[in-house]
Chains A and B, each alone.
Chain A
Amino acid sequence: MQPILEIDQLEAGVQGKQILKGISLKIYPGEMHAIMGPNGSGKSTLASILAGRDGYEIIRGRVLYQGRNLLELSPEDRAREGVFLAFQYPVEIPGVNSAYFLKVALNEVRKYRGMPELDAIEFLALVKEKIKLLDLDEELLKRPVNVGFSGGEKKRNEVLQMAVLEPRLAVLDETDSGLDIDALKIVANGVNCLRKPDNAQLVITHYQRLLDHIVPDKVHVLVDGRIVMSAGKELALELESKGYDWIVREAKRVN
């Protein structure tokens, strides 16, 4: 079976500073992987590179998405091909109505996939169904994108966008940070509901607590730009009780 995402010996940096020092992983359809690691280990860099943010240099290695070179695609083409990044810091866009934005985005993606565009009524019906999943107030749709949203609303709005756009590969960059326990459960529930046999999710997190509610197939530990350990979900629990220090020491010893 072809993996949805295959990262092969990826080395990358920003402004001449190498951050990722050789990352390899494969995610198959139906799988959810978690990447954990201490601050500064390169987690968000990886997420940014997957989504196509400017300013990163690829030094070596490759990233294949459904067998295609992901890195040569523009951010919008990645989105249309089914890659979705839930932002760690969702961007406020004053003056752009949330519902309008989501409708334009969905129709861009549908057009690309050869599906008919949704009209306003069809779109609203779809979004009202998805918004329940995330326990968000429909009024938010009338506001400018992320403007005046609470921290929790912003994160839930990211998962709402994901629910509407139905990506094949979702990368969630610290979607759990800054959430209280109730919001965390809602987000986790949303993400769980979006798991399908033909899609894949990559959850990036600093803390284990999100993994109480969503159960990854694999946990990778990223330290200083390298995956130093990959194991099943029990690794997350071990990290929670013992912290990252032991694994950092372990990694140094091996190197």
Chain B
Amino acid sequence: MNSISTIPDADAAEAPHFGAVRTAFQQYESQTRAAGEPDWLASLRRRQLTRFLAAGYPTRRDEDWRHTSLDAVVSMPFALASSAGPDGRIVQLLEGSAFSSVSGQRLVFVNGYLIPELSRAVRSSDGVYVAGFASAVQEKSEILRARLTADAEDGSDGSLGALNLAFAREGAVVIVPANTVLDEPIVLVFVSFPQTAGERTHVRNVIMTGPNSRATVIEHYIGLGTESAVTSSVTELHAGQGAVFEHLKLQDESNSVFHLATLRARLESSSKVSCHSFALGSRLARQNVLATLAGEGIEAVFNGLYLGDADRLIDHYLSVDHAAAGCASHEFFNGVLDDKATGVFYGRIRVRQHAQKTDAKQTNKNLLLSDDAAVHTRPQLEIYADDVKCTHGATIGQLDPEGLFYLRSRGLPVATARRTLIHAFAGEIIERVWCGAARDILNRLVWERVERTRHVSGSER
């Protein structure tokens, strides 16, 4: 049925480091073939690898990557991460991790391998499907084939998305049937625990929520160890007509990890969707949010908070496509940058010609706590309809001296006053999380991080 496509041979112009990518792919392919992966996926992986080899890694010459260099990722050795079983340190990390108290279904991945012993997934009577990608491609072969093929052809996630699917060993597949209400959030935990420098983990998640369903999915990325590594994550989200869905991502990886991620969302009419990105960790983090508002009457919120210190870089790239009339999309991103950290925010809103009565709003606010911290923020509105409301605004500033003085004049120590203001700034974002349990957890977590901020207790103002 499927002829498995071939990968073109390397030519002289090909970057030398792609040799390792080819070798890794050959090895990986023999594993997946031995595991009996469907032909359509094998073929898709080859096409994606070919796409990656042709395009290569994005460079700063790409307009969308102007402020974010992947040189360090390119020069790192290319080796697929190996499984690190459920050892004591991982168990301990999970027990103390942010969402450990949240009951409900849970999948735990370590270095991109599903660890069933640490997971809690049940085949529930309501028909909700929660499983690892490797079993899902067997059990839900036709659904995933259609989904992944369409997403691959769309190609909006670029060469990194192609590389991701070529190597994606695991990930979570969540399918919520129509009219099903899930009370508990589904928690997906991705632990990176690199053993040698340059280990790569590729996870591919697929979330499909049926018409008029209600669900929450939390993705939590954490790590152990100090070896440099690359986590590549792509989540495909499809929210059905009238679905109410909340997606919350907490990226809190080790400071030696490069985190390259995409959330691609296709929202159908009358759906109400909130996507949150909390970027607290990793050395370099790139989060793409590529959303298509495909039907009328959608309410979408894209909400994010990034905290940066040391010389870390946190990049959010948003592209929201209003392809239908009468939709609202609101983007709120706040950043707190300390030391020599850099924040990048790019927000593109496209309103197609027939997408009348669009209400699109974008704000990006940044708080710089040190003289060496930097931020690059760029809105881009492309409006082809004439009856729309589109606003955008970006601010970059320091803590308000009047606010600080006011708090101190009531007896708050200067460090507490600073923390209070920073936390309030972060709190604007946290407050938008619907899931109460997650909101409380994030409030505590962010407060802890702010406590650690070096410049909080500083006397400069």
What residues of chain A have their CB less than 8 Å away from a CB belonging to chain B? 51-54, 74-76, 78-80, 84-85, 87, 90-96, 101-102, 104-106, 108-109, 112, 144-145, 161, 165
Task: Indicate which residue in A53, A87, A165 contacts B411 across the interface (CB closer than 8 Å).
Answer: A165
What residues of chain B have their CB less than 8 Å away from a CB belonging to chain A? 400-403, 405-414, 416-417, 420-421, 423-425, 427-428, 461
B412 touches A95 (CB 8 A): no
Q: Report if A105-B412 is in contact (Cβ < 8 Å); known contacts: A75-B405, A90-B406, A93-B406.
A: yes
B405 touches A101 (CB 8 A): no
- Docked pose: A106 CA to B412 CA in angstroms: 9
Q: Report if A96-B420 is in contact (Cβ < 8 Å); known contacts: A80-B411, A105-B410.
A: yes
- Docked pose: A93 CA to B410 CA in angstroms: 13
Chain A residue at minimal CB-CB distance from B410: A105
- Docked pose: A96 CA to B427 CA in angstroms: 9
- Docked pose: A143 CA to B411 CA in angstroms: 20
B406 touches A91 (CB 8 A): yes
Chain B residue at minimal CB-CB distance from A48: B405
B420: chain A residues at CB < 8 Å are: 93, 96, 101, 104
Given contacts A104-B416, A165-B410, 12 further A-B contacts (CB under 8 A): A76-B408, A76-B409, A79-B409, A84-B409, A91-B403, A93-B407, A94-B424, A95-B427, A101-B420, A102-B410, A109-B411, A145-B406
Task: Indicate which residue in A51, A76, A87, A94 contacts B428 across the interface (CB closer than 8 Å).
Answer: A94
Task: Indicate which residue in B403, B412, B461 contacts A76 across the interface (CB closer than 8 Å).
Answer: B412
* Dominant SS among interface residues on chain B: helix
Query: Which one of A84, A85, A95, A105 has the greatest number of beta carbons of chain B within 10 Å?
Result: A95
A93: chain B residues at CB < 8 Å are: 403, 406-407, 420-421, 424
- Docked pose: A80 CA to B409 CA in angstroms: 9
B403: chain A residues at CB < 8 Å are: 91-93
- Docked pose: A92 CA to B406 CA in angstroms: 9
B428: chain A residues at CB < 8 Å are: 94-95
B427 touches A54 (CB 8 A): no
Between A and B, 25 residue pairs with Cβ closer than 8 Å are: A52-B408, A75-B409, A76-B409, A76-B417, A79-B408, A79-B410, A80-B411, A87-B406, A91-B402, A91-B403, A91-B405, A91-B406, A93-B420, A93-B421, A93-B424, A94-B428, A95-B425, A101-B410, A104-B420, A106-B411, A108-B410, A108-B412, A108-B416, A145-B406, A165-B411
B427 touches A76 (CB 8 A): no
Number of A-B contacts (CB under 8 A): 76
A102: chain B residues at CB < 8 Å are: 410
Q: Which 6 A-B pairs have the closest CB atoms?
A: A95-B424, A79-B411, A108-B411, A105-B410, A91-B406, A75-B408
A112: chain B residues at CB < 8 Å are: 411
A92: chain B residues at CB < 8 Å are: 403
- Docked pose: A161 CA to B406 CA in angstroms: 12
Chain A residue at minimal CB-CB distance from B420: A96
B424 touches A96 (CB 8 A): yes
Chain B residue at minimal CB-CB distance from A145: B406
A95 touches B408 (CB 8 A): no
Task: Indicate which residue in A94, A104, A144 contacts B412 across the interface (CB closer than 8 Å).
Answer: A104
Query: Which one of B403, B406, B412 has the greatest number of beta carbons of chain A within 10 Å?
Result: B406
A76 touches B414 (CB 8 A): yes
A95: chain B residues at CB < 8 Å are: 423-425, 427-428
A53: chain B residues at CB < 8 Å are: 405
Task: Indicate which residue in B401, B413, B424 contacts A108 across the interface (CB closer than 8 Å).
Answer: B413
Task: Indicate which residue in B405, B406, B407, B421 contacts A54 across the interface (CB closer than 8 Å).
Answer: B405
B461: chain A residues at CB < 8 Å are: 54
A76 touches B424 (CB 8 A): no
B408: chain A residues at CB < 8 Å are: 52, 74-76, 79
B405: chain A residues at CB < 8 Å are: 53-54, 75, 91
A76 touches B406 (CB 8 A): no
Task: Indicate which residue in A85, A96, A104 contacts B409 across the interface (CB closer than 8 Å).
Answer: A85
Chain A residue at minimal CB-CB distance from B427: A95
- Docked pose: A112 CA to B411 CA in angstroms: 9
Whole-angstrom distance between the Cβ of B457 and the nearest chain A Cβ? 13
A94: chain B residues at CB < 8 Å are: 424, 428
- Docked pose: A207 CA to B367 CA in angstroms: 40
Whole-angstrom distance between the Cβ of A231 and the nearest chain B Cβ? 31
Task: Indicate which residue in A74, A96, A104, A105 contacts B414 across the interface (CB closer than 8 Å).
Answer: A74
B407 touches A101 (CB 8 A): yes
Whole-angstrom distance between the Cβ of B341 and the nearest chain A Cβ? 22
A91: chain B residues at CB < 8 Å are: 400, 402-403, 405-406
- Docked pose: A75 CA to B406 CA in angstroms: 9
Chain B residue at minimal CB-CB distance from A93: B403
B425: chain A residues at CB < 8 Å are: 95
Query: Which one of B414, B416, B424 has the greatest number of beta carbons of chain A within 10 Å?
Result: B424
Whole-angstrom distance between the Cβ of A17 and the nearest chain B Cβ? 20
Whole-angstrom distance between the Cβ of B433 and the nearest chain A Cβ? 14
Whole-angstrom distance between the Cβ of A141 and the nearest chain B Cβ? 15
Q: Report if A51-B411 is in contact (Cβ < 8 Å); known contacts: A94-B424, A95-B428, A96-B424.
A: no
A85: chain B residues at CB < 8 Å are: 409
Chain B residue at minimal CB-CB distance from A75: B408
